[in-house]
Every structure is written in structure tokens, then in C-alpha cells.
Chain A
Amino acid sequence: MEAPERIEPNLEVVRELKELTGGAFKRCGQCATCTIVCDLSAPDGDYPRGKMLWAQWGLKDRLLRSLEPWLCYYCGKCSQRCPRKAEPGETLMGLRRWLTSRYDVTGISSLLYRSWKAELLVLFVVALTTALGLLAYGFGHGNIRIYDGAQAFLSSAAIHRFDWAMAGVLTLFLGINAARMWWFTMVKDEPHKAPLASYLRQLPLLPLHFITQKRFSACDSRRPWAIHLVLMLSYVSLFTLIMFFLHDMQSGPAINWKVHAIGYAASAGLLGTVIFAIRGRLAKVEEQYKHSHESDWLFLALLALVTITGVTQHALHRTGHPMEANVAYVVHLSLVVPMLLLEVPFGKWSHMVYRPLAVYFDSVRRDALVHEKVTATRPEAAEGAAAGRAVHESHA
């Protein structure tokens, strides 16, 4: 038998997690009800239960290496059945917040999650800067009474260039964070590094899970998955239109219906699901909506405002109010820029990359185990067990 390993709790991490999760995990007594009632926990999986223990001890290295928080879609069954009201669902949600802040190299994410006042301030500063920049550009290059064409206040060509520049910046940040996720989960401290062949074999999973969120649909109740899918597809549609068909959206008076039909449907989808989510978080009936972090509200508020101003500016443009449309457009973009700049690489939206990556990495790990005949138990399982024993003995 190996010599027992001494496991030191990391109280700093525990404190961080209490802030990000609400702290209910401290009540967990490791009865493992949550693991069994979870529709997604793998037959060899020990979560949520195991992650509750790591959170209680603040086991930073294990948590950082863990993909499991990303494999949970918060159906809430675990929290419903938890005999101690230790909120395993919300704990995993908080762990996702914590991991997001840890993957982020800049420290911005951590700041935003810790203080909603700071987040609000940054949002405000970025929004104001954007508005002033747009106004300066508009009055310098165009006419506020003209919405589209050569003399337009904000010409679609200019905005198009701006969009692509911003997309580049966001991709860079998100790419760096995703690379760090890969480093923490698949390379650093990993005794059995997966070979390239495993990465290649499992690669199709990445687009599949990005587009379908297939794993989410395996939860007992499929409604949250369907709603999330509508939200996500609506968003991706609008994003595609804006990145590739901005000119068609803004030129007039003739309407390119192919583009507009998609745009209108996507806007309706976005607005509908956002209203649904806000109502859900206010009603607090469904488990996944019972606990709202400040960041959840800010995100929803931003998304709602962005959608409404986007629709408004378009409607004003199409109904022949170019000046009003230009003003609404400035407001719209002044909300879009901070939303994307903050949420995509540093906030809640980064999960669009982390989630499919986690499913992919998890499959890569399993593939590597099968194909490389690595039969050794994953170390954290054994260590988790050791920690479990330690806790048990301290209770006894």
C-alpha cells in the first residue's frame, strides 16, 4: 500500500468558491445522492459529489485539472434531491465561474466575477468610449440624417471593418484562454498525456457539440436544452449575418428577404429566450434559475438591451427615420461592444468554447485510455478517495 498523502486545504480557494457559488457546498456530507440522480454523470464518474469535496477543501490543482464542471448543464436534479441543501448544481455553476476566471490570463475575468460594481464600471467606460468614438467617426465621415449609402453616418463598410477587427481581438483572447484550459486539463501535471491520434480521432465531436449541445439533451428534462439551443442558434445566425451580410441588412430601400427573414426569425428567437430566462430567474421555480449571480443578471440585461436596440434601430431605418435610426444604432453598438468584449473572453459567454472543448477533451482522455492501453486509474480518482477518507475520519 502506498504511503498516505497529506492533503492540505487551500482556504483562499475555498473563500473564492464561497463567493462564486453561494457557499452551500460547505453543507455537503458526501452522501453521494447527487452522483446517482445525475443523468449525465458517467458510470465511472464521481460528480457532483467528488467536486463538492474538492470545493470544501479548496483543492486547486485538482479543480483546475477537472473538466467535470463543464460536463454539467444544471438540470438541477441534484440540488432538488440533496438532503443537505448543499446545492451541487449551483456549486458546479460556481466552479464554472471560477474556472473561467482561472483560464483567463489577464485577471479581468476574476475581477468581473468578484465585483459587480467593477463590472458595471468597466461596462460603462467601454460603452461611453464606444459611443464617443462612433459619434466622432460619424460626424467626421458622414451625415447623421443618412443611414445607408456613401454619406451614411455609420457606413456598413466601416462598421464591417470594425466588427472584424473586434472579432479578431475577441478570438485572440478567447483562444489564449482556451489554450490555457487545454494546458491545465490535458498537459500540466497530466501523467498520461493523450497522443495526437486521440485528438484527431475525436475531433468531429468539437463542431458537433458546439452546434447541437447534444450532451445537454441527455438530461431528463429536454426543455432547457431546447430553449438554450434556440438562444444559441439565434445568436449564431445574427452573428453570421452581421459578420458576412451587414451590407444587405442595412442597405435599402429594397429588402433582401433571404437575409432579412433569417435576421427577423433570429431576433425573435433571441428576444423570446431572453425574456424566458429573465422570467425564470425572477420566478425562481426551476432549479437552474433559483440562484442568480450578479453576473447572470448583467449578462441577461445586456443581451436584452442589445436585442431591443438592434431591433429598434433596424425598425427605425426601415420605416424611414434615418436620424433616429442612427442614434439607436450608436446606442446599440455602444452596448454590443462592451457585452462582447467582456462576456465572450472573460465572462459567461466563454462557455461556448469551454463546453464543447470539455466534451472533446473528455473523449480524448477516454480515447487515449482505450487506445494506449493506459490502464492506470486516473490519479485524481485515487486522491479524491483519499481526501474522502480523511474527511470521513475527521467526522468519525
Chain B
Amino acid sequence: MTTIPDLLRKELSDHCAHYASRRVGLIWVLQKLQAHFGGYLPDEAITLAAEIVGIPEPDVEGVATFYNWLFREPVGRRIIVVCDSISCHLCGCDSIVARIQKRLGIGMGETTPDGEFTLLPVVCLGNCDKAPTMMIGDELYDCLTPDKVDEILDSIYASAKAGGR
């Protein structure tokens, strides 16, 4: 049984207490636990969330497996999501995905062996006038070309090496 720091547990519990029903806090609790556990929700995170929110574990599992941004398996330090909805499709997102896959040597849904990147498709990022578009971590990148993808990945690797992870 893993435990989490008392301070975090209190923060999560207090957040739930702020609502008329503790369950309203569940997704926020899962997001916080996911950050605590290195980007995904291991089994013990589900147990902890159930305990803190005060609902059965299967309910938590149901929620944790429903949403695109809650992960039940380990992911890379940075998640690359490439929009493959219609406007980006027209503007060449396939060539963007192909370049990322070739460059990182991974398929869609996979993580690089060094644990740096996980590649996923995403629903329209709401940036269609600057298609094709993607996010890496919190950053949005647009008007992409395959060569621009190389530059972006190069600079991320360079800053990771320099310790700016």
C-alpha cells in the first residue's frame, strides 16, 4: 500500500469538501494524483482517490478509463498530441505524424524508449486557422511542416540535455 504525503492528502480532501458533493472533486483529484505519480494513474492512485472522495473503487476506475487525459499506463515526460481532425487533415497532418514517427521511432500510442515522449492523436485543438497543429506538453505549435517538426524536437532534446527538463 503506497501512501502519499499528508499535505497532498489534505489538499485533495479539502478540495472535495469545498463542494456540495465530494464527488465533484474527483476529476481534479485524479489530475493531481496523476501528476504526483509521474504522469499516470497506477492502481494505488485509484484506491487512494476512492478513499479520499468516498466512493467505490469501480466508480473511480470508470472515470479514470473514460477521459482522454487520464492515463492508466505510464506515459512519457512529454505528451505529443497531433490534431487529426478535418482542417488539419486537409492541411497535411498525416505528413506531420509520419515525420514524428520516423524521427522518434514510435507508432501512435507509443512511448520513446528514453521515456521522453508519448505520441497520441487528438480531437481538433481549436486552432484550425493555423493548421496543422499539435501540442507538446503545455505548448501549442502551429502552421507545422515536417521540417518544422524536426526543429521543434531538436530544441526540446537540446534543452532537456541542458537540464531544462
Asked if A pairs with B, the answer is no
B residues with a Cβ closer than 8 A to A are none
